[in-house]
Amino acid sequence: MKTNTLGAIIAGLATCAAATTASAADGDTIKIGFPVFLSGAAAGPFGQPEKEAAELLIEALNAGTVPAPYATTGIAGKTLEGTFVDEAANAVTEYRNLIERDNVDAVIGYTSSGNCKSVAPLAEDLKTLTVFVDCGTPQIFEEIVTEPTYLFRTGPTGTIDSVGAARYFQDSGVDLSRVAGINQNYAWGQDAWRDFTQSLSALDTGSEIVTEQFPKVYAGQYGAEVSALLTSTPTAVHTSFWGGDLEAFLLQAAPRGLFARSDVLMTCGEALFPRLADQIPEGAIIGARGPYSVFAPENDLSTWFNAAYEEKFGQKPTYPAWKMAQAIFGLKAAWEKAGEDADTDAVAAAFKNLEFETPAGTVKMAIGNGHQAIQGIAYGRYKKDADGNPGVEDVISYSAECVNPPNDMMSAEWIEAGFPNSNCE
């Protein structure tokens, strides 16, 4: 009896497993899990626009109101259904819950590089289509998952932010004799500062690093760090702060004159729009982690996305919203390339090395063995328009081929070698 029962259980489990892998989505619905910050300091500037963009895309795709090439209903004719979980909770536990409790067919989300590092191996273990939206550390496909199958990142790595920042400083004539940095003390901040300072060396700027500050992520209070920046008298300051940390830094550093004394570049600065538009000093150097928002190209998708988001939510989308939309479009493009009845492996194979259209232009899954997107980067100086809306001027854009390493090189090695095979024309 026990042997027969055990055999039946094993056979049943095998049947369930076979059914699970046979199709990427059963029935007429594709269930997508969205881990975004729903609480904490990152919820306002990141979680909210990401959630809103996902809600907008689900609604518009299901209604078939998105412009070409995404005018078909849903994904591969199937209706989309979203489940949102809080990225501020335990990332591994919530990821497992989405797969094992909520039975989602794919996961799209994550802003924190720390969370992405924790989830990346699990995505492969659970064989679940997973698309990282915003986390930037290049470690994901260079160190954590070097032979990926089910994991993808449709936004660029932070390497482009750092290389582009160094190039913008140099190309815009900023005095780089004395450089300082303030970055969060975990993978994202450490990688950003490493790539930026190595880029300065590769560009032969002759910069002296006068101080480098690494406060704890989510610290919120930066009085001592701002004092260190001021007393070191830098001519240029680099920060990759994001979310509540960036807001707190701006509100604490600007009144003390840091932005007036130094050229301060915020790689994630556009996310301050529109929450703190009145507090950003004019002339501060702003990035958006890619060609998003005020740096986006004019095309049918960008025109539609800007207008549809503003109509639904009463304000223009910031770059986290753009990156969420980009991830969803990537999954749709891959799924429909694979075919309506494709299984998970077929969708993953179609996603690999994919090129697809987005509001931010063409995205190429060109590195990370075809699982990591490359895009260009742009920076500009903060300037309100005649109507008082936040914007930028003195913009310089760098192509994807200028600021990304080739597929066969790690980011740090590529920068240290002097950007071999880059094309910045």
> Does some domain include residue 135?
yes
Range of the domain at 115: 2-155+297-374
Percentage of the chain modeled with pLDDT above 90 = 92
168 and 222 housed in the same domain: yes
| 8-state DSSP, 380 | E
Q: Are both 401 and 340 inside the same structural domain?
A: no
Residue 198 placed within a domain: yes
- Verify that 22 and 143 share a domain, yes or no: yes
Residues 54 and 113 grouped into a single domain: yes
pLDDT at position 26? 67
Q: How far is 362 from 69, CA to CA, in rounded Å?
A: 12
**Domain match, 281 and 207 both:** yes
| Residue 25, in any domain of the structure | yes
Q: Are residues 406 and 262 in the same domain?
A: yes
Instruction: Give the CATH number for residue 290.
Output: 3.40.50.2300
Rounded Cα–Cα distance for residues 99 and 119 (Å): 12
Query: Mean of the per-residue pLDDT values for the chain?
Result: 94
CA dihedral 378, 383, 384, 386 (to 10 degrees): -110
In the chain (425 residues long), the average pLDDT of successive 10-residue segments reads 36 38 71 98 96 98 98 97 98 98 98 97 98 97 97 98 98 98 96 98 98 95 98 98 96 98 98 95 98 97 98 97 98 96 97 98 98 98 94 98 97 97 94
Q: How far apart are the first and last CA of the chain?
A: 74
Q: What is the pLDDT of residues 35-50, one digit of tens each?
A: 999 999 999 999 999 9
Instruction: Specify if 303 maps to a domain.
Output: yes
Domain identity same for 136 and 163: no
Q: What is the DSSP letter of 58?
A: H
This prediction's pTM? 0.93
If asked whether residues 221 and 349 sit together in one domain, one would say no
238 plus 358 within the same structural domain: no
The reply to whether 330 falls in a domain is yes
Domain count of the chain?
A: 2
Residue with tokens 């700027």: 205
Residues 291 and 393 grouped into a single domain:
yes
- Specify whether the CB–CB gap between 94 and 86 falls below 8 A: yes
Q: Give yes or no: residues 218 and 179 share one domain.
A: yes
pLDDT at residue number 4:
39
If we measure between CA atoms, which residue out of 21, 20, 47, 25 comes closest to residue 34? Answer: 47
Indicate if 141 and 11 belong to the same structural domain: yes
Tell me whether residue 122 is in a domain. yes
Asked whether residue 380 is assigned to any structural domain, the reply reads yes
Amino acid at 113: S
The verdict on residue 89 lying in a domain is yes
Give the max Cα distance, the chain: 82
Q: What is the pLDDT of residue 425?
A: 85
